[in-house]
Amino acid sequence: MSLPLELSRLRDEIRGYAVAYGLDFFETVFELLDYDQINSVAALGGFPVRYPHWRFGMEYDQLSKTYTYGLQKIYELVINNDPSYAYLMKSNEMVDQKLVMAHVYGHVDFFKNNYWFSKTNRKMIDTMANHAVRIRDYMDQYGVEKVEDFIDRCLSIENLIDPFLPFLDKKTKKDPTAEDDQKNVSGKLKVERGYMDKFINPPEFVESQKKKMVSNEEKSKRNPAEPQKDVLKFLLDYAPLEQWEADVLSIIRDEAYYYAPQWQTKILNEGWASYWHSTIMTTRALKDHEVIDYADHHSGTMAMQPGRVNPYKVGNELLRDIEDRWNRGRFGKEYDECDDLVAKKNWDKKLGKGKEKIFEVRRVCNDVTFIDEYLTPEFCERFKLYTYQFNKRTNQYEIADRDFKKIKEKMLFGLTNMGQPFIFVADGNYLNKGELLLLHKHQGIDLDHKYTRETLRNVAAIWRRPVNIETEIDGQRK
């Protein structure tokens, strides 16, 4: 539904403010929907058309009930696409529509300019519609239940991708030591003068070189040669799938890679959009009679409970902290090595580089690098970002630890790989039986046995052979 005249004018006004602040975004199309329509679109992951599946109906039912009971309300919905599409709810007040438009332009600027979104499909609306047509055709041909059961299995492992794979150089590089290993079967280095041989090729070195050659030879026979994180790609390449099954699995994998940057940048993305909606609203767009309503709705968005990280709040405040630090020069060796607390508190070099710095952060960071690089002890103290635990005796959450290193470590654990276990394909012909061996590299996150068992069943159904899993702790497999 096209925007009415008043909303069209507001859109042009907000867009003008966003451009004046230096935001650079795709053309953005706003659609006006009622609550039922926006719940339908939200249930489909923000897209107007998706393939048929029961989980979308479940999502719609949940969204509808939470809206009806007053537990949740969708203010904005925006798609990473070129042009980008955003949805406004008809029932929102005019101040909310302005806030949402400013927030959307912040998101679309982030989609366009952040490095981690640079490899995503910018025509995903068309791609999603194409996926829907193909899967509907398979359902007509093979039956709804058969295709939907296979989709269920694929969705249970849709997170087993490598989000860094799109950024790797696809050109295969030869290992320069491989040819030397084959030519020099003795394991010795070439020596021009015989009397130097015992110094250049001592027995322990020769033995280690021979072991290395044996290891390289074993790796060359193994498939994959090194543990592979993109489990879906391995299944596509080597599982004995029918043509339609391979196509469905490739669809699930393509969509998983499209959504990957969104969970990689949740805090920074929402923080960036919140930073700009609050900046535009409080400096340009807000009228006097709208201040109370804006403050009420904005504070609701920024509210944060103990023990939980609100990405809107943390992202917004950390960006403002970075802006302030770079405006005042509170960074670098001189500042870090200053022991005078009063001097550090009043530190102000008047550099004025804050805006430039946050645009740089927006361009290159994901959540892990954002938190790892810019979270400070002072920030954690100011916003009470402590680790909490629930006290059953008092029935309340209490501070468990104020140690900055532990706080930061816990946040990074939750952000790395979505806080999920690291799973790799280790061997596609385990024990020479055609079985699949998966490897869980333990990096602080244990496997949930219930979910592991069910997931392995689904992988085995795709692989058509038994599937095994090992856990690696400190380089030792168990």
Question: Could you tell me the two tokens for 152?
Answer: 């269920």
C-alpha 3/C-alpha 61 separation (Å) is: 27
| Segment 380-432, tens digit of pLDDT | 999 988 888 888 888 888 888 889 999 999 899 889 988 899 999 999 999 89
Q: Which residues pair with 473 in a beta bridge?
A: 476
* pLDDT at residue number 400: 85
| Segment 314-348, tens digit of pLDDT | 999 999 999 999 999 999 999 988 989 899 889 99
* pLDDT at residue number 462: 97
The answer, yes or no, to whether residue 64 has pLDDT greater than 70, is: yes
Burial 87-112 (b: 16+ CB within 10 A, else e): bbbeebeebbbbbbbbbbbbbbbbbb
* pLDDT at residue number 25: 97
| Segment 418-470, tens digit of pLDDT | 889 999 999 999 989 999 999 999 887 888 888 999 999 999 999 999 999 99
Contacts of 105 (CB under 8 A, 6+ apart): 14, 15, 18, 23, 25, 28, 276
Q: Which residues pair with 430 in a beta bridge?
A: 435
**DSSP code of 3?**
P
Backbone angles phi, psi at 426, to 5 degrees: -100, -35
At position 272, the amino acid (one-letter code) is W
Length of the chain: 478
| Segment 144-154, tens digit of pLDDT | 999 999 999 99
Angle, helix 231-238 to helix 243-264, in steps of 10 degrees: 170
Q: Which residues pair with 387 in a beta bridge?
A: 401
End-to-end CA distance of the chain: 58
C-alpha 309/C-alpha 316 separation (Å) is: 12
Give long-range contacts, CB 8 A cutoff, 24+ apart: 143-146: 144/52
The answer, yes or no, to whether residue 182 has pLDDT greater than 60, is: no
**Distances, alpha carbon 473 to alpha carbons 329, 333, 394, 413, 476, in Å:** 43, 37, 37, 16, 5
C-alpha 190/C-alpha 184 separation (Å) is: 9
Backbone angles phi, psi at 365, to 5 degrees: -95, 150
Q: ω before 311 within 30° of 0 (cis)?
A: no
At position 295, the amino acid (one-letter code) is A
Question: Could you tell me the two tokens for 321?
Answer: 């902290």
Give percent of the chain with pLDDT exceeding 90.
69
Q: Which residues pair with 79 in a beta bridge?
A: 85
Report residue 431 CA to chain centroid gap. 35
**DSSP code of 2?**
P
User: Where is average pLDDT lowest: 102-116, 367-381, 410-424?
Assistant: 410-424
**Distances, alpha carbon 178 to alpha carbons 127, 215, 217, in Å:** 42, 11, 9
The answer, yes or no, to whether residue 203 has pLDDT greater than 80, is: no
* pLDDT at residue number 193: 60
**Which strand (E) or helix (H) includes residue 401?**
strand 396-401
C-alpha 321/C-alpha 338 separation (Å) is: 19
Mean pLDDT of 277-296: 95
C-alpha 435/C-alpha 184 separation (Å) is: 34
Longest dimension (CA), the chain: 93
* pLDDT at residue number 392: 86
**DSSP code of 281?**
I
SS3 467: strand
Do 375 and 325 form a contact (C-beta atoms < 8 A)? no
**DSSP code of 44?**
T
